[in-house]
């Protein structure tokens, strides 16, 4: 296997890690208000992802860095063509990260409510945009012979891409609900389970529709297997959730996300950014890649560092594997209170 293909697969694996792990983070953020009744319950939900959410985002940084180093032409064309969409994602992620850190700094319900809204916005926006972006990559975007994007923002907001955004959004909602049912106790767990009973079938319908359209229009013959696995994963999550097998339900939604990534990248290969204007203007693993020497050096570095990162992150999840309930959440202490009429 050529190194260009190896790095295409590695980038797909990095996106898989990001979407599986950050997917339930986004799901928790989107479900923060619907599944909580007071601040203690909201803190319970946030405690389930508190030790891991920032580590999960590292997968995105590594995926972007690997794309820049291994396929600089792909990185340049994608980030210039999707500039506004990626800027929206960046702002949403920054807003979300700041909200996680700041919501508990002041003992004031209005203060916390504002930051909770920021968490919600920062959790709803990225999945929708990522889904639209990946769908456009599969569909192809208008590019000239110089590999420059020649469309507009409205070009990216086509019906197929919007369906892709809704598909990823619903899958992350189901993934987050199953994660919360797995990691919480008491009434919060019951609400999360009930939400999963509704959201997982919804994800099966929406994501299944997008996957079938993708396969029929753009897929390779072998990617039908990915469609079948994704459908089986979501269907299995429905059955496992109804039997209160939260661990199996979570594994099933994670498997569905993995299968969707396989469908996306399998439909792309050997292209990395197809041109809808002229197939000759498409970017492929060959004409978008770095030099062979660069890929060799990157491969040795990745072979050494990747196992260490996986071991560390696996250890983190093992340490924080226990369920969390409202009785585990201490009362806020020592926080400054907001005062009215200052100055």
Contact 325, 184 (CB under 8 A): yes
- CA dist., res. 137 & res. 71, Å (int): 15
**Tokens 């999963």 — which residue?**
196
> What pairs with residue 273 in β-bridges?
283
Q: Which one, of 131, 137, 125, 115, lies nearest residue 93 by Cα?
A: 125
- Alpha carbons 260 and 266: distance in angstroms, whole number: 10
Q: Read off φ and ψ for residue 184, nearest 5 degrees.
A: -120, 175
Locate all alpha helices (DSSP H) within 219-291, ordered by sequence: 224-242, 246-268
pLDDT of 256: 95
Name the DSSP letter for residue 2: -
Which residue segments constitute the domains of the chain, with CATH numbers given? 3-142+150-325 (1.20.1630)
Bridge partners for 141 per DSSP: 275
pLDDT for residue 316: 87
Instruction: Check residue 51 and give its pLDDT.
Output: 87
The bridge status of strand 283-284 relative to strand 271-273 is antiparallel
State how far the Cα of 121 lies from the Cα of 123, in Å rounded to an integer: 5
For residues 279 and 281, what is the distance between their CA atoms, to the nearest angstrom? Answer: 5
pLDDT given at position 340:
46
- CA dist., res. 110 & res. 58, Å (int): 31
Distant-in-sequence, close-in-space partners of 179: CB < 8 Å, separation ≥ 6: 24, 27, 28, 48, 250
pLDDT at 260: 95
Nearest to 68 by CA among 264, 290, 304: 290
Can you give the pTM of this predicted structure?
A: 0.92
3-state SS, one letter per residue, for 63-81: HHHHHHHHCHHHHHHHHHH
Q: Is the dihedral of CA 200, 201, 207, 208 positive or negative?
A: positive
Task: Of 23, 22, 33, give the one whose Cα is nearest residue 116.
Answer: 33
DSSP state of 27: H
Q: pLDDT by residue for the chain (343 residues), tens digit each?
A: 689 999 999 999 999 999 999 999 999 999 999 999 988 999 999 999 988 888 888 899 999 999 999 999 999 988 888 888 899 999 999 999 999 999 888 888 899 999 999 999 999 999 999 999 999 999 999 988 888 888 888 888 999 999 999 999 999 999 999 999 999 999 999 999 999 999 999 999 999 999 999 999 999 999 999 999 999 999 999 999 899 999 999 999 999 999 999 999 999 999 999 988 888 888 999 889 999 999 999 999 988 888 888 898 889 889 888 888 888 888 766 667 665 444 3
Distances (CA, A) of 68 to 61, 63, 331: 11, 9, 45
Question: How many other β-carbons are positioned within 10 Å of the β-carbon of residue 317?
Answer: 12
User: What is the DSSP secondary structure assignment for residue 107, as one 8-state letter?
Assistant: B
Q: How far is CA 105 from the centre of its chain?
A: 28
């Amino acid at each position: 296997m050529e190194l260009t293909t190896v790095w295409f697969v590695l980038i797909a694996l990095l996106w898989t890690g990001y979407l599986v792990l950050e997917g339930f983070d986004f799901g928790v953020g989107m479900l923060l208000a619907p599944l909580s009744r007071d601040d203690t319950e909201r803190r319970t939900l946030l405690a389930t992802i508190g030790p891991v959410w920032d580590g999960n985002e590292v997968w995105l940084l590594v995926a972007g860095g690997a794309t820049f180093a291994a396929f600089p032409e792909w990185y340049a064309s994608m980030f210039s063509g999707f500039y506004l969409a990626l800027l929206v994602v960046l702002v949403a992620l920054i807003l979300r990260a700041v909200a996680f850190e700041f919501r508990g700094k002041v003992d004031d319900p209005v203060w916390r409510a504002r930051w909770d809204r920021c968490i919600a916005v920062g959790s709803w926006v990225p999945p929708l945009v990522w889904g639209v972006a990946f769908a456009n990559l599969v569909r192809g975007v208008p590019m000239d012979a110089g590999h420059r994007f020649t469309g507009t923002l409205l070009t990216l907001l086509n019906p197929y891409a919007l369906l892709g955004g809704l598909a990823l959004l619903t899958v992350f909602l189901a993934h987050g609900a199953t994660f919360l049912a797995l990691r919480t106790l008491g009434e919060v767990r019951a609400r999360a389970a009930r939400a999963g009973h509704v959201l997982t079938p919804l994800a099966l319908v929406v994501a299944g529709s997008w996957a079938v359209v993708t396969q029929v229009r753009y897929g390779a013959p072998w990617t039908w297997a990915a469609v079948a696995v994704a459908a089986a994963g979501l269907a299995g999550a429905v059955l496992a959730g109804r039997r209160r097998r939260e661990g199996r339900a979570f594994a099933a939604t994670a498997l569905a996300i993995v299968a969707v990534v396989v469908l996306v990248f399998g439909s792309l290969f050997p292209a990395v950014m197809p041109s809808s204007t002229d197939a000759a203007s498409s970017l492929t693993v060959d004409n978008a890649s770095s030099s062979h020497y660069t890929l060799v050096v990157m491969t040795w570095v990745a072979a050494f560092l990747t196992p260490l990162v996986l071991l560390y992150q696996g250890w983190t999840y093992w340490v924080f594997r226990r369920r969390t309930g409202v009785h585990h959440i201490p009362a806020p202490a020592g926080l400054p209170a907001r005062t009215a009429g200052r100055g």
